[in-house]
Amino acid sequence: MPASDDSPTVSLPATELERLCTSTILAAGSSEKLARSLAAATVAADRRGKIQVGTAHLFDYLDGLEAGRINGAAVPHSVNRLPAAHLVDADGGIVQLAFDEVFDRFAQSATDLGISILNIMNAFPAGELGYYTMRLARRGLIALAGGNSPALMSLFGSRDTVTGTNPLSFALPHPQGPRMFDQASSATAWVNIRDAADRGESIPEGWAQAPDGTATTDSEAGLAGSLLPFGGVKGSNLALMIELLAAHGGAKFSVDAPPIDEGTTTPGTGLFVIAISADAFDPEYTHRVEEHLARIDRDFGIDFGRKRDDAVIDLPQNLHTALLERAAR
């Protein structure tokens, strides 16, 4: 359900919103553990001001649970084939729960070994990737994550959809809170085009193409066609690299993944996360990063990666009402 820019808002403490989200997810047919994992990730995005990939996106998960595209009773299973390689089968559930199940072991192995990699397979798409990298950065780790999703985007000038919007996130420790970026490989997120279509609005040039491969500013045509990568070939290269790494553990390639918004089959896509000890080479690295980021802020006006952490969230009223209605089912 899209958030309306002109909708009245309801101010909720983050803790209260997380309880409401948990109740709503439980009502959709999930286990307690899955509900708590998903609610925590949802509200973490909201606290950073990213409601479109937080509470607004939660409704895609609720619909997936009710339709069976998400296994609400999933029990993730992890395997360590190598000391620094962690593989988790999400059991048709969500990446957030699978990540929670292995987080402590994964983070500790990166601390002990200097570097570790995690791959999650057989899951619903991962949502906001910054959630995963920020958590690792708070443990003193440098983190890089990427995930794929059902095919929505053209690559290398193709007319058809080839891969997902395949986001990438990077985070590193900082004394005033992790510094992080999280961006899609597409020129814009799919939800932005969907929301524009719901409002009957046009979209900027370069966001999407029509089904026949021609450029379009018609949001409906963009939804029927395919999203475009940012930067042409450069974005295509990045998107394909992310997919190949996300599928490393056995996840489906995007063209093989069922959609997230129809049917009863789990998309089965994947996520990779690389965690590196911040002091693997230089015990002073975090301090040097702090000084460097302060310098580029002071000298160049670049405040890299600083994120909001709102304790109170101004939630669009239409989303709040919809959550209450879904929780009461």
Residue 275 has pLDDT above 90, yes or no: yes
CA 159 to chain centre: 26
Residue 191 has pLDDT above 90, yes or no: no
Partners of residue 87 on adjacent β-strands: 79, 119
Structure confidence by residue, pLDDT tens digits, 31-75? 999 999 999 999 999 999 999 999 999 999 999 999 999 999 999
Looking at residue 53, what is its pLDDT? Answer: 92
Q: How confident is the model at residue 6 (pLDDT cuts 50, 70, 90)?
A: low
Structure confidence by residue, pLDDT tens digits, 299-314? 999 999 999 999 999 9
Which pair of tokens denotes residue 327?
């929780």
Looking at residue 190, what is its pLDDT? Answer: 83
The CB density around residue 157, as the number of other CB atoms within 10 Å, is: 12
Rounded CA gap, 251 and 266, in Å? 11
Beta carbons of 307 and 134 less than 8 angstroms apart: yes
Rounded CA gap, 156 and 174, in Å? 37
* Mean local confidence (pLDDT), 308-328: 96
Looking at residue 230, what is its pLDDT? Answer: 95
Looking at residue 2, what is its pLDDT? Answer: 59
Structure confidence by residue, pLDDT tens digits, 204-217? 999 999 999 999 99
Q: By C-alpha distance, which of 189, 222, 204 is closest to 45?
A: 189
Structure confidence by residue, pLDDT tens digits, 112-152? 999 999 999 999 999 999 999 999 999 999 999 999 999 99
What domains are there in the chain, each with its CATH number? 9-186+229-283+307-327 (3.30.1370.60)
Q: By C-alpha distance, which of 68, 63, 261 is closest to 149?
A: 261
Q: How confident is the model at residue 223 (pLDDT cuts 50, 70, 90)?
A: very high
Looking at residue 194, what is its pLDDT? Answer: 87
Entry pTM: 0.94
Beta carbons of 102 and 84 less than 8 angstroms apart: no
CA 206 to chain centre: 22
Rounded CA gap, 287 and 218, in Å? 48
Beta carbons of 22 and 326 less than 8 angstroms apart: no
